[in-house]
Amino acid sequence: MKFWALPLLVPALLSLTLFVDDAKKDSKETAGRLVGSWVIVGGEKEDSKELDRGVKWEKVLITADTIRALGAKDKENYAARYTLDTSHTPWHVDLVSIAPKEGQQARGILSLEGDTLRLAYALPGGDRPKDFSKTDNKQMMFVLKRAEAVKDRAPARDKDR
């Protein structure tokens, strides 16, 4: 390598490092906006156009690194750790399940607009969805609203579910 190129290379590498750090910071800040209690208000399950009655209106709790879906009596139906990449539109999310079966990986997409969160992901073995328009037999899609935004509109939950 020629020595004259070294002064050009060092600033380029430093700016790349800062760009990567900014992307990680953006992902963490965005994950912070996801934190809270959500309610599933719609979506599509695999090749069906509608979610099962038991899934709609489930509570979903999101922390900075986990997603938990709670059913009747707040029983945990699903839990996963997630990582978020906000350098894509829609954002990319990678999930690794904790429960009911540990270690299953799913790749998905997320978008957040106000109090509405859209999540679509591929079941293990499926391709990451490109958008939220249609699911195939290897994908799930959910529309969630912040719990505070729907607390007066949610139907009464079945006690026996």
pLDDT digit string (tens) for the chain, length 161 residues:
444 444 444 444 434 343 444 444 455 566 788 999 999 888 887 666 666 555 666 899 999 999 999 987 888 989 999 999 999 999 999 999 999 999 999 999 999 999 999 999 998 888 899 988 766 778 888 899 999 877 655 555 444 33
Residue matched to tokens 């894509």: 88
Q: Is 121 exposed, middle or buried (0-12, 13-18, 19+ CB in 10 A)?
A: buried
State phi, psi for 22 to the nearest 5 degrees. Answer: -65, -40
In one-letter notation, the amino acid at residue 147 is A
Q: Which pLDDT does position 13 carry in this prediction?
A: 41
Q: Which pLDDT does position 21 carry in this prediction?
A: 44
Q: Is 156 exposed, middle or buried (0-12, 13-18, 19+ CB in 10 A)?
A: exposed
The fold adopted by the segment(s) 32-150 is: Lipocalin (2.40.128)
Which residues are registered as beta bridge partners of 67?
62, 80
Q: Which pLDDT does position 10 carry in this prediction?
A: 45
pTM for the model stands at 0.73
